[in-house]
Amino acid sequence: MLPTEGVSRRIPRAQRTLPTGIAIAVLLAGIGSAEAQASKPPGTSNTPSAAGAAEAGSVRLDELSVEAQQPTFGTTGFVATRSTAGMKGNDSILQTPATVSVITREELDVRGVQDLNTAVAYTPNIQAVDYPGGQGGPTFTLRGFNANNFDNVYEDGLRYGFNSFDQNVEPYAYERIDVIKGPISVLYGAGQPGGIINLVSKRPSFTPFNEVFLQGGNRNRIQAGFDLTGPVEGAPQFAYRITGLIRNADSQFRYTPDDRTFIAPAVTWRPDADTSLTVLAKYAEFRGGGSEQSLPIVGSIIPSSRGFYQRDLFVGQPNFNTGFLENKEIGYVLDHTFAPGWLLHSAFRAFETTSKFDAVGASPATTPASFLAVSVFPYLRDQSSQGLLADNHVEGQFATLDIQHNVVFGVDFQNYYRRDARTYPNGYPTAAANRLIDLYNPIYNLAIAFPQRTNFSARALQQQTGLYAQDQMRWNGFILTGSLRNDWVDQEIRSTFNFPNLPLPTLNRTTIDQQSFSALSYRVGLGYEFDFGVVPYASYSTSFNPQIAGQRADGSALSPREATQVEGGVKWQPPGSNALYTASYFEITQTNIPLADPLNPGFFIQTGEAVAKGFELEGKANLFEGFNLIVGFAHLDTKVTRNPSDPTLVGNRLANAPANTLSLFADYTFPIGSPFGGFRAGAGVRYVGARTDATNVDYVPGYALVDASLSYDLARIDPSWKGATLSVNATNLFDQRYFTSGFYTGYVFEGFRRSVFGTLTYRW
């Protein structure tokens, strides 16, 4: 089911209020406050709901209905108590046998989140590969495991994308972001073992709410957006929502823009209290520079004989480098209560993407001579993809003897097709054909002429069907969850190599790789809910993740990844408080992990087996009126345990997997009657420990970044300005220089520099 807490899926009748219908809206998360802000002044809190708590010693069946409460049901300020993502029903996070973290709309607004990397920056054991000015969408490690090609990102319960180079995320259109840690293939099929990030779209509301904003900041940033929703006049069964954003900005690198356009209309039809149908659409463009921006460690982290590189260094070719992504999608969400306690959920999305990268890549095999220049090669990369995604399931509740059952039975389907074409000016990029860019005095004079024929092309098709079932049983405080799934996957990759400058059989041929997979995934979890809001739990889960987005240099398909996890922990929601605390320990074992091929740019190799184990602490709380606190800590130990293709990697840590991370963010709204009434201030620090690359040759030092926010309610100056707010946000406030491990050994990416922007928002 679409994981929004705006849908009253399992709410006792006495707790239902506004019939706002199932809602959807648009895309990613970002700036304005939503309906919750429309109904209360900024910084105020409501009494937290206890709807998710089971009553020990009694059997009470929750009632399924498509009627809804406020679109932020289960969420008060920074704290969420329910999530659909971990169980595919609107379930209590306390009763979900996995670690679930939620970044709410209010938190996103207060922190001024502008991208998915920043959105999850305060969530333990998620490490984004910060790649400003680079190609494609965001990449993460979750619990130590690298997630390529969006195989860990979902939108409303359906996979968001299949390739980093033909999809991206604009975070203005999301109501919240749910993170489920550990293998979750039993409910979703595809997904890497560290967990998934589920983007929850804003949805139409039958309660009117409108927002417009204008934003400006450093690097010539100008951005404007709107979010409008309410009932359709004269048609009370319908509600609409339309969200849009446009940005014109430079990035921290020369000759590299950061522009985007986004619009998403949605409409909900609620003919009766038992049925809701939402149709939603989206169009987005992302325009950037498309340069790889890979820089040698010597000159970045370690000074060369000429010191450090300039921080705005552009490793590309002006008037040539282009990064362009275009995304289109349309879909629907249907919920229907067909019997007391039983609900049918159906979701569907079709998407089409186009991407074009005219770029300059680094050639790591020829660079290290004194580290004063980098060997590069230009290339053209054009891609397009289409996909059909569907999920249909039935949820129900019933009792047998003294045991309450919450069950889910479903089937989902994915059909994905992708075309990739790459062209090099002189055939295969050999050292003799490459060019040098002086990293301390770059002169951009590459003579670029491309042949008519494509040097490499690939067409990939993947179909996946999954059947799944789940039963959560509750008895006298005990919570037993069992989930079972089987996947059937067919995939085909057709690759054509055409490099006349290297007349080798392996580089001038067509290969066809066809594979079929079938795998069983399962999860079992046991917990006990005490009367004082504490739930200790333990679980065992598995994952299965077929891979279609990349291939080996010989054109063969990557093997599916498989993983198992043991997790134990405790969750605490103090009665009468607006807070949720989680502590967990886990051990994950994964096989067939893909890594960038160090000798063949754009292709992958696979290790045999790796293990990640560690523990996490997370707390989100409204400690007292107006004061919100986020705290997170993670310790992580990763190790390659088996690698037949390269035994030297055995014992290595996984790339970009820090041993320790720590984050803290505090937010305070000053009382109206105080001298600072109308102000809201926040500040946070996020520490990421030292990391390494896949070979463990490179050492990337740790860093600590400081973020800050300040806003003022302009109605305090003039009551006629009610609804207007002026805010200022800063990320990496002190412009700390930091790096993440790059594509190749000896190379890194520089992280995001200081970003400061002011926003004028009006809500009514």
The model's pLDDT over 317-367, given as tens digits with 9 standing for 90+, comes to: 888 888 999 999 999 999 999 999 999 999 999 999 999 988 887 776 555
* Cβ neighbours, 10 Å, residue 339: 10
pLDDT at site 95: 94
Distance CA 632, CA 613 (A): 17
pTM of the model: 0.87
CATH code, 13-763: 2.40.170.20
The model's pLDDT over 710-748, given as tens digits with 9 standing for 90+, comes to: 999 999 999 999 999 999 999 999 999 999 888 788 889
Of the ranges 44-58, 76-90, 573-587, which one carries the lowest mean pLDDT score? 44-58
Residues 6+ apart with CB under 8 A from 606: 552, 558, 559, 592, 593, 594, 595, 645
* β partners of residue 681: 668, 710
Query: Where does the pLDDT of residue 275 fall: very low under 50, low under 70, confident under 90, or very high at 90 and above?
Result: very high
Q: Average pLDDT of 745-755? A: 92
pLDDT at site 29: 30
Of the ranges 135-149, 432-446, 462-476, 517-531, which one carries the lowest mean pLDDT score? 432-446
Of 125, 121, 119, give the one whose Cα is nearest residue 658. 125
The model's pLDDT over 168-195, given as tens digits with 9 standing for 90+, comes to: 999 998 999 999 999 999 999 877 899 9
Q: Average pLDDT of 403-416? A: 96
The mean pLDDT value of the chain amounts to: 85
What CA–CA distances, in Å, run from 17 to 23, 48, 69?
15, 15, 5
* β partners of residue 175: none
Of 438, 548, 451, 445, give the one whose Cα is nearest residue 495. 548
- Is a pLDDT exceeding 60 seen at residue 314? yes
* β partners of residue 720: none
Residue 675 identity (one-letter amino acid): P
- Is a pLDDT exceeding 60 seen at residue 21? no
Q: Do residues 162 and 353 lie in contact, with contact meaning Cβ atoms separated by under 8 Å? A: no
**Ranges assigned E (strand) in 249-321:** 259-272, 275-288, 295-296
pLDDT at site 131: 86
Query: Where does the pLDDT of residue 47 fall: very low under 50, low under 70, confident under 90, or very high at 90 and above?
Result: very low
Of the ranges 86-100, 539-553, 572-586, which one carries the lowest mean pLDDT score? 539-553
pLDDT at site 362: 73
Domain locations in the chain? 13-763
Higher local confidence (pLDDT), 45 or 472:
472
Q: Average pLDDT of 120-145? A: 90
Q: Average pLDDT of 503-509? A: 69
The model's pLDDT over 212-226, given as tens digits with 9 standing for 90+, comes to: 999 999 999 999 999
pLDDT at site 4: 34
* β partners of residue 252: none
Of 764, 682, 709, 570, give the one whose Cα is nearest residue 99. 570
- Is a pLDDT exceeding 90 seen at residue 622? yes
